[in-house]
Amino acid sequence: MSHTPTLVVIGNGMVGQHFLASLVNSPAKARFHIVVFCEEPRPAYDRVHLSEYFAGKTAQDLSLVPDGFFAEHGITVHVGDKAKTIDRAAKTVISERGVVIAYDTLVLATGSYPFVPPVPGHDRPQCLVYRTIEDLDAIQSAAARSQVGVVVGGGLLGLEAAKALTDLGLTTHVVEFAPRLMAVQLDEGGGALLKSKIEALGVSVHLNKNTTLIDDGNTCLHKMNFAGGDVLETDLILFSAGIRPRDDLASASGLAVGPRGGIVIDNQCRTSDPAIFAIGECALWNNRIFGLVAPGYAMARAVVSVLEGADSGFTGADMSTKLKLMGVDVASIGDAHAATPGALVYTYQDGDSGVYKRLVVSADKKTLLGAVLVGEAADYGTLLQYCLNGITLPEHPEALILPRLSGEPVGLGADALPASAQICSCHNVSKGDICCAIEAGNTSLGALKHATQAATGCGGCSALLKSVLDAELTKQGIAVNTDLCEHFPHTRQGLYHLVMIEEIKTFAELLDKHGRGRGCEVCKQAVGSILASYWNDYILNNAHLGLQDTNDAFLANIQKDGTYSVIPRVAGGEIEPDKLIVLGQVAKKYKLYTKITGGQRVDLLGARVDQLPLIWRELVDAGFESGHAYGKSLRTVKSCVGSTWCRYGVDDSVSLALALENRYKGLRSPHKIKFAVSGCTRECAEAQSKDIGVIATEHGWNLYVCGNGGMKPRHADLFATQLDQATLIKYIDRILIFYVRTADRLQRTSVWMNNLEGGLAYLQSVVIDDSLGLGEALEAQMRHVVDTYQCEWKTTLDDPNKLKRFRHFVNSDQPDDHVVFVQERGQIRPARDEERAVLKTHKHFPLLEEA
């Protein structure tokens, strides 16, 4: 009987799983029986986006292992079982549970562990690390019993951990031994600006601090004692002071390790034992440990290549990185510290805008060696390609980091990149790979991502991937159709400009002048939204009525059983007791289901269409207005109780929330928009998950933009800090009208901003710097919206002809007898099909009630 060699993989983290994913797509896979030891209680998950666990993502959401992956590929996996011993003489691996596996080839992907400084007291309760999902569960549990948190370490992971503590509502400090944050990636100027931005967000930063003792605090659980006599009290300590390679298993088996740790490997990722490979953060290549995931992936692919019999190996990796730390753009490329002999340095700093840029070039000014970007990193993709591909710099390299005062971009087009240019470092996808995939028919961005895996790792190359796609489609003569639909050869933005410039007020007029045919549901609703947002007319005017979807047509949200929900506006979540009583009386009178919404309002569900005007009348008479819950418009402005009641509040979040909701409540937009105002950085109103989020600080209001919940949640970006209320409202006016004017149909603010050329930085230049000269016009348009506001419920109630629409049958005032409810938990719900069948068969069902 022939022997099938066994390949054992110890470790199923991100790098270990990437090795398996690469191997199963390789001809080398057929040669092996594969066994995997996974020490954690779950297979590989995404540690790069681990902080999103605090934002609501589950362990399953973060999983990197497709359902059925191991079974599909015949891989034996031991989850929750740690490899304990490697017997190199017998070529076996023995696990803690006593499993013994003989191997022919062994791959070590054991990763790293967090370094905890051996300071006395480091093992006290609520002194934790930030590495695994179990660590995050422990942090959440400890945070619930804490008010103050400290992160020891001001590197990448330390600042991610600081954001996690801030999101959990703690007063947060960062303690760093070095003289600046992110000392490995940033120079002194970049580190200083990052520190100021982090502190503006309410996090205290302590540099040059050496902790000598952790003991009992006076007001908190712990007291951190620093060299020099300073102290800092805290309830929770998170150690994020770097990593150490997990080489204990290898060292115990006699494999060569470095003087400071790490399993020594060669260019083929082989250890001192030819049958054993090591990849990822446990491996020491050329006396260097790589602490990013992309080099680990490159090592994994190198081993697969060796198993295939190829000569290629691992020759190092680019350590450039771009990320957003607590809403602050930070990027580092190549030789950021100008260590190359003869290197020239250009720096640009805008203290007003909070932007710092540093360019490191060769002595002959022809080659980009490195760069640092803090506060605005839109140029990262361009600068990275200059650096990686040795592309000759322009005559004046400083132009790459200076402001584009003329509005003309300075950078690389996709055509300037060679086929060998690496577009996606996570999955090693070159421009040539992408071009081949496009030629094979993958002409949409989604299909291209699926075919190449580009932009599916950290996502940092998404914009560049889109640029390559657009350039290749243009070269192939494939037109990218941006028409709204077959009836209008224009984008939504183009139609908006036509409406604005030509003062077109109806769909019929727009179709006659610029369209063809009769229109469709796509263009009718899009144009209806454009007309409503620009002119702010009553949407049920006869000229507009046919443009509305079902919800807008009846000014209420239709539900699964054909009934409607009614949501009156409760601005800022503040409501007088008398109005609260009215809601209960109306719900009781019309037998409606009641629920508190996530936006601090009360939803009344189960109303028949003929009941809507009756319900509105009682609500309007009590002082309520339409909450616009049915429209693509402002929904809610959520708020905490702020400084009025809360002991942590630093400003009156309720008053501001009321002012904002009452100002913008009539605005129609391409998609629904939501606001929130938090009275302090504890963030009880969840402002950083909203389209417009406002957070009070001791120095003014911080403005966040373009966040959202939904199917693809996104944290908002920090837009401006320390604003007075007048400036805050001016900026919001400009942002919202610019969004309404330029966004695509049904495009959320987050997608809209990401699609803007220059993203957040461009939006800041338009709104704050008025780079397009539109500021006054945008504000004037918002004043028109505010001045022409009307409650659509009240306008409808005042028009007898409009009220005729609100009945189930045109020729009868009888209600729809197919609407049937079930009593459950003291309220109604729509009857299920089987319950309707019982009613129909027996003519009686005690739990059912006909509406």
Dump pLDDT digits (tens) for 36-67.
999 999 999 988 878 778 767 788 888 999 99
What type of residue is 273? Answer: D
Q: How high is the pLDDT of residue 24?
A: 94
For 331, 368, 746, the CA distances from 500, given in Å and listed in that order, are 40, 45, 19
Write the burial class of residue 10 (CB in 10 Å: 0-12 exposed, 13-18 middle, 19+ buried).
buried
The upper half-sphere exposure of residue 113, i.e. CA atoms within 13 Å in the direction of its Cβ, equals 10
Q: How high is the pLDDT of residue 156?
A: 81
Which of 636, 631, 505, 509 has the alpha carbon at shortest distance from 569?
Answer: 636
Asked whether the predicted pLDDT for residue 529 surpasses 80, the reply is yes
Q: How high is the pLDDT of residue 808?
A: 58
Residue 365 CB coordination number (10 Å):
16
Per residue in 107-135, pLDDT tens? Answer: 999 999 999 999 999 999 999 998 999 99
Q: What is the mean pLDDT of residues 488-512?
A: 90
Output 45 or 406, whichever has higher pLDDT.
Answer: 45
Q: How high is the pLDDT of residue 408?
A: 39
For residue 675, what are the contacts with CB-CB under 8 A and spacing of at least 6?
Answer: 634, 636, 637, 638, 657, 660, 661, 664, 687, 690, 691, 692, 693, 694
Q: How high is the pLDDT of residue 849?
A: 43
Asked whether the predicted pLDDT for residue 413 surpasses 70, the reply is no
| Range name among 109-113, 303-307, 643-647 with the lowest pLDDT average | 643-647
Helix (H) or strand (E) holding 124: none
Q: How high is the pLDDT of residue 840?
A: 55
Three-class SS state of 160: helix
Q: Which of 310-319, 476-485, 777-786 has the highest mean pLDDT?
A: 777-786
Q: How high is the pLDDT of residue 479?
A: 64
Q: Which of 8-22, 288-302, 510-524 has the highest mean pLDDT?
A: 8-22
Q: How high is the pLDDT of residue 527?
A: 92
Three-class SS state of 44: coil
Q: How high is the pLDDT of residue 364?
A: 93
In 67-170, which ranges are E strands?
76-79, 83-87, 92-95, 100-102, 105-108, 112-114, 127-129, 148-152
Per residue in 623-640, pLDDT tens? Answer: 999 999 888 999 999 999
Q: How high is the pLDDT of residue 406?
A: 34
What type of residue is 216? Answer: D
Give the pLDDT band of residue 274 (cuts 50, 70, 90).
very high
| Range name among 242-256, 374-388, 418-432, 451-465 with the lowest pLDDT average | 451-465
Q: How high is the pLDDT of residue 839?
A: 59
Q: Is the dihedral of CA 186, 188, 194, 198 positive or negative?
A: positive
Block residue for tokens 């470790």: 11
What type of residue is 249? Answer: L
Q: What is the mean pLDDT of residues 498-514?
A: 91
Three-class SS state of 25: coil
Strand pairing report for 634-639 and 105-108: unpaired
Output 274 or 843, whichever has higher pLDDT.
Answer: 274
Q: What is the mean pLDDT of residues 760-772?
A: 93
Measured between alpha carbons, how far is 25 from 33 in angstroms, rounded to an integer? 15
Q: What is the mean pLDDT of residues 651-666?
A: 94
Do 701 and 732 touch, CB atoms closer than 8 A?
no
Per cent of the chain over pLDDT 70 is: 92
Q: How high is the pLDDT of residue 723?
A: 96
Output 155 or 273, whichever has higher pLDDT.
Answer: 273
Give the pLDDT band of residue 199 (cuts 50, 70, 90).
confident
Measured between alpha carbons, how far is 380 from 371 in angstroms, rounded to an integer? 9
Measured between alpha carbons, how far is 723 from 721 in angstroms, rounded to an integer? 6
Give the pLDDT band of residue 811 (cuts 50, 70, 90).
very low
For 246, 331, 436, 776, the CA distances from 366, given in Å and listed in that order, are 41, 22, 31, 43
Measured between alpha carbons, how far is 175 from 72 in angstroms, rounded to an integer? 47
Asked whether the predicted pLDDT for residue 410 surpasses 90, the reply is no
Q: What is the mean pLDDT of residues 698-718?
A: 87
Per residue in 425-459, pLDDT tens? Answer: 777 788 889 989 888 888 877 788 888 888 776 66
Angle at 14 between CA 12 and CA 20, to 5 degrees: 60
Measured between alpha carbons, how far is 204 from 172 in angstroms, rounded to an integer? 7
Concatenated DSSP letters for 585-627?
A: HHHHHTT-EEEE-TTS-EEEEEE-GGGHHHHHHHHHHTT--B-
Average pLDDT, the chain: 87
Q: How high is the pLDDT of residue 847?
A: 47
What type of residue is 617? Answer: R
Asked whether the predicted pLDDT for residue 20 surpasses 50, the reply is yes
Block residue for tokens 């506006």: 569
Phi, psi of 433 (to 5 degrees): -60, -40
Block residue for tokens 């659980």: 221
Asked whether the predicted pLDDT for residue 466 surpasses 80, the reply is no
For residue 776, what are the contacts with CB-CB under 8 A and spacing of at least 6?
Answer: none
Measured between alpha carbons, how far is 440 from 112 in angstroms, rounded to an integer? 40
The set of long-range contacts for 699-703, using a CB threshold of 8 Å and a minimum separation of 24, is 699/200, 700/724, 701/651, 701/656, 701/725, 701/728, 702/200, 702/201, 703/728, 703/731, 703/732
Strand pairing report for 148-152 and 236-239: parallel
Do 181 and 198 touch, CB atoms closer than 8 A?
yes
pTM (2 decimals)?
Answer: 0.57
Q: How high is the pLDDT of residue 838?
A: 64
| Range name among 112-121, 181-190, 320-329 with the lowest pLDDT average | 320-329
Measured between alpha carbons, how far is 20 from 28 in angstroms, rounded to an integer? 11
Helix 507-514, helix 521-535: angle, nearest 10: 120
For residue 751, what are the contacts with CB-CB under 8 A and spacing of at least 6?
Answer: none
